Structure 1
Amino acid sequence: MSGRLAGRRAVVTGAARGIGAEIARTFATEGASVAVLDVSAEGAATTAAEVGGTAHVVDLRDVAATRAALEEAVGALGGIDVLVNNAGVLRKAPLLDITTDDWDDMFAVTLRPVLVTTQVAARAMIAAGGGGAIVNMASMAARTGGAGQGHYAAAKAAVVALTRVSALELGGHGIRVNCLCPGFVLTEMGAATRTPEQVAEWTSRSPLGRLGETTDVARTALFLASDDADYLTGQAINVTGGMVM
């Protein structure tokens, strides 16, 4: 087996479609064994079949089920070397219209599972002798905010903060923790919240003159998961085509 992740065992959450599915495919192409976690049974099964991995269906709002699903995935892989916390939701609402239920649900899907999965994965990595990489998915919204994104931007900013704390506390075990802050990537989730006019306006903001592709994010996740980034931890890397510098 060859590739930058040859022999590595990776778990990717939210990998039924979009960026998560692209990360799973990229990791598998680079030699990793991949377990897919997602709330969509059909989507998880499809991605798992593509990458020759295993599918584990879980609603990440359920803490106990999340722990159990990740432990099951680690068991299926025979251990874990890489965790990618990609799962999340993107919903928009004016600040004055965000309810506390909206707020709590956003954090329950986008932030809390990062803590739960990190705890499970890090304990397994430490028990195996240490070492490993965790890649969390934040967002450009964590850097710049955005109208209608109060709860989303706050949750993603918290992912950045949790990444830094995790890097500090787990570095002594050889575990690196970093996160990505993608800009506008026209996935199914992103496309559902943007008009053609908005897409054109966002495109004009990038010095590169284009929006992001799922492969742009996946390749950066690959770098962070690989030995090429073995002296990189606690970082929040912008993948924004220059929209944030």
Structure 2
Amino acid sequence: MDIHNPTYVEGHGLLKGKSVLVTAAAGAGIGYAAALKAIEEGCRALVVSDIHEGRLTDAVNSLKEKTGLRNIYGKTCNVAVEEDVQALVNFAEDALGGVDVLINNAGLGTSKLLIEMEDAEWMKVLDVTLNGTMRMTRYMMKVMKARGQGGVIVNNASVLGWRAQKEQSHYAAAKAGVMALTRCAALEAAEFGVRINAVSPSLCVHPMLKKSAPEALLQELEGREAYGRGAEAWEVANVMMFLASDYASYLTGENIACSSQQA
């Protein structure tokens, strides 16, 4: 494969027979790519969530049309609200007959110098990106423990949890928290057979990012990557599928950087 111009990788049945729940999956980024990949990897049923009801309906219809899988369900959820989180997990448990894999993709980012940032903007990013991941992980752990059949949780972190970037102090702090949450929760969950890992993309270029980020900034960020490009959303989703699969049976509390960024 040409690493500079990769060819889409088809599924290999990594999630055959599994049921999957993906948060924030109704956009054009990693969440939707992960949902599509889960189906291509053989999942038997899928629940996707998003905060935008109309976009969620479109995503469910699109996934059904592209894959032919009929057991795809949508449920709106704001991961910043505990009641929404519990309602989503309970819905998925009923619709899927138990969730085998949870992919925590919900996150929020803005760009602002710390010296100019208000508390409200800091807290909003952390409440969705870090606290939302915590809420989903916490309640899913409770449900998986009670069911007693194990399970997998995959969190979406970021290399900014390790690396510095101007105007990203709130997002970086949140993603560093997701990494720490993953490690600590994994130790607790191991006692009842649940694995928890994280994926940390560096630059993932998708339509929503292209629409919101200045072209000059994107070019600068791509120039830092060893391949001279950002990752495709499906390339990040592929790593998520590996962690969700039985190939990663001895991995927990780990964080895999999906990155070609030079040091």
Alignment length (residue pairs): 243
Q: Is 1:233 paired with 2:252?
A: yes
Structure 1: give runs of 5+ residues left out of the alignment.
none
- SS at 1:206 equivalent: coil
Scaled by the length of structure 1, what TM-score is found?
Answer: 0.94
Q: Which residue of 1 aligns with 2:20?
A: 10
Q: Distance in 1 between matches of 2:260 and 2:234?
A: 13
Q: Which residue of 1 aligns with 2:220?
A: 201
Deviation of 1:193 (Å):
4.1
Q: Is 1:91 paired with 2:91?
A: no
Q: Which residue of 2 aligns with 1:31?
A: 42
Identity of aligned residues (%): 34
Scaled by the length of structure 2, what TM-score is found?
Answer: 0.88
Whether contact under 8 Å (1:166, 1:177) holds in the other structure is yes
The amino acid that maps onto 1:84 is: I
Deviation of 1:160 (Å):
0.4
Q: Is 1:41 paired with 2:53?
A: yes
The amino acid that maps onto 2:140 is: A
Whether contact under 8 Å (2:79, 2:136) holds in the other structure is no
Structure 1 runs of 4+ off > 3 angstroms? Answer: none
Whether contact under 8 Å (1:71, 1:120) holds in the other structure is no
Q: Which residue of 2 aligns with 1:19?
A: 30
Q: Distance in 2 between matches of 1:43 and 1:243?
A: 36
Q: Which residue of 2 aligns with 1:56?
A: 75
Whether contact under 8 Å (1:92, 1:149) holds in the other structure is yes
Deviation of 1:108 (Å):
1.3
Describe the superposition over 1:129-158 as per-residue Cα deviations: whole angstroms up to 9, x where unpaired: 232110001112111021001111101110
CA RMSD across the alignment = 1.5
Structure 2: give runs of 5+ residues left out of the alignment.
1-11, 65-69
Q: Distance in 2 between matches of 1:146 and 1:216?
A: 23
User: Of 132, 141, 145, which aligns to 1:126?
Assistant: 145
